[in-house]
Amino acid sequence: MINEDGALMDAQSLRTRADRYVLGALRRERRVVFTKGSGSRLWDAEGREYLDAVSGTNGPAMVGHANPHVVAAVSAQMAELPSTFLIHDSVPVIRFAERISEISPTGPAKTFLCPGGGEAVEAAVKLAMRITGRNEVISLQGAYHGMSLATMSLGGLPALREWVPGGMRWPSFQQAPAPDPYRPVLVSDADWRPAAAALRAALDAGTYHQVAAVILEIVQGPGGHVELPGDYVREVADICRERGVLLIVDEVQTGLARCGALWACDLHGIRPDIVVIGKAFGGGTPFGAVIVRADLINDEIEASPWHILTFMNQPLQAAAGNAVLDVVETDQLVDRAVELGERARARFREMAKTYEVIGDVRGPGLFVGVDLVTDRSTREPASDACTQAWEHAMDIGLITWFGGSGNVLKFKPPLTSTDEEIERMLERAEAVIAFVETHVRASS
C-alpha cells in the first residue's frame, strides 16, 4: 500500500505508528492492522486472511463486513443528506422508527437513535426515571451495559466496574443476583426461583424504595453467554408489571435475528417497556437506539432536554439501519441463525467428547459460548490457557474473544456466512480448544 507521501506503508511501520499515535484500550502486545473486510473475512496489512467469528465487536458485521446493500444505502445517504440539526426530522429516521414500531417486542413504540449501545442504555435509564418519577435502577450480577460512568455502575462484572479507583457506584443503582444455570450463586442446583425471590424481596422489603426500572440482558453476552432461564425472565416481567417498575431489556448484542428469533425477548414471549439496541443495526456504522412503548411518552418529555446529542436521530445512521433491516428480511437471517446455531452447538458438543476442557456449550441461535474449564467437576474457568489461546487463534486466522472470566469462547459469526466459512471457523475453533486442552493438561 502507498500512503499520501508515496512511502511504503509496510505492516511493521503501521504497527509502530499505531503504538505511537493511537490511544488504545484493552491493548495487547500482539498488534494487527487490518486493511480490508468483506463478508466474514478480513485481511491485514500483510495480506493475511482471517475469518471473523465475532462479527466485528460481536455484531456490527452481523450482515457481513462491507455488505453491498448497506454500502450502497449509506453511500447514497451520505451524498443526499448525512446530518441535520438535532431537533429536525428526516425521511430515513422516520422510516426506521416506523419499521421498528411494527416489529418491536414492546408493541407500538417510539425510537431515539444515538451513536452507541451504552449511550442508548443511558438514554433508557434517564427516560425510565423521567417517566416514573423515581431514580433507582436494578441490574443483575454478571450484566454488561456499557462503559460510560453510569453504565459501568449498572454493570455486574467486577473486573470492569472496579477499574475506576474506588469502584464505580452510582448511588441509586444496585445489582440483584442473576440465576446462572451453570455457576449458580444462590443454590447448588440450577433453580431460578431463589433469584426471583431475591428480586421480589429487594423490591418489597425495603432495600430499594424508588425503583424506576429493572434492566437485564436475556443472554448475558460479555458475562459469558449466561442464558437466563425463560421462567425467570417471565417472572421478572410479572414482578415489574405488578409494581409499576419498568422493564428495560438490553438487546444490544442479542437483537435482530442473532438469537434465532427477531428479538431475544421473543424466545420467552415477554413484552418489555423499553428495549435498547445497537451493534448489528448499524451494519458497521456507529449505532445505538432506545425503543420505548409509545404510550409511556408524552409531549412534555419530548419537548424537554432529556437527552441531547449531536448525533441523535441522524439520517446517515438511520439509512444504515434500514438497509440492515432489509438484509435481515431478504436473506431470511432469523432462519439462518437457527440453522447455523444448531450446527455449531452440535459440533461443539461433539468436540466435548474429545476435549475435557469443554464444560458447557450454550446460547440461542448463532450466539454461542463455549465455557472452557480446568476441571469439569469444579467448573474452574480455564482463563490463563484461554489468554494464550487467543494468540493461537490469531495465528491460525480466527478472530474470536473470550468472555465471562476470560474463558468463554465466543462464536457469533456473521449470519450471512456461507456453509463453507462456518465449517472452516468451526475447524479453527476446534484447534483453539485443543490448544486450551494441551495447556490446561500441561499445568495440572
Which residues are designated catalytic? 144
Q: Residue 145 or 225: which CB sits closer to ligand PLP?
A: 145
DSSP string, 338-353: HHHHHHHHHHHHHHTT
Q: Residue 217 or 371: which CB sits closer to ligand PLP?
A: 217
Does 253 bind ligand PLP (CB under 6 A)? Our answer is yes
Does 381 bind ligand PLP (CB under 6 A)? Our answer is no
Per-residue binder mask for ligand PLP (CB under 6 A), 313-352, x = binder: ----------------------------------------
Q: How far is the CB of 157 from ligand PLP (least distance, A)?
A: 11
> How far apart are the C-alpha atoms of 274 and 131, rounded to whole Å?
11
Q: Three cell numbers at 386?
A: 484461554
Comparing CA positions, the residue from 300, 240, 246, 214 lying closest to residue 132 is 246
> How far apart are the C-alpha atoms of 389 and 234, rounded to whole Å?
38
Q: Residue 196 or 252: which CB sits closer to ligand PLP?
A: 252
Does 117 bind ligand PLP (CB under 6 A)? Our answer is yes
Q: Which among 110-118, 131-139, 308-316, 379-387 is the span making contact with ligand PLP, rule CB under 6 A?
A: 110-118
Find the binder of ligand PLP among 92, 146, 272, 404 (CB under 6 A).
146
Q: How far is the CB of 184 from ligand PLP (least distance, A)?
A: 21
Find the binder of ligand PLP among 252, 264, 292, 398 (CB under 6 A).
252
Residue 417 burial class via C-beta count within 10 angstroms: exposed 0-12, middle 13-18, buried 19 and up: buried
Measured CA angle at 23 (ends 22, 29), to 5 deg: 85
Q: Residue 282 or 436: which CB sits closer to ligand PLP?
A: 282
Can you list the positions of beta strands (E) in 228-367? Answer: 246-250, 274-278, 288-293, 358-362
Find the binder of ligand PLP among 53, 54, 109, 121 (CB under 6 A).
121
Contacts of 53 (CB under 8 A, 6+ apart): 398, 399, 400, 410, 411, 412, 413, 425, 428, 429
The number of CA neighbours under 13 Å toward the Cβ of 229 is: 17
The binding site for ligand PLP (CB under 6 A) comprises 58, 116-118, 121, 144-146, 217, 221-222, 250, 252-253, 278, 288
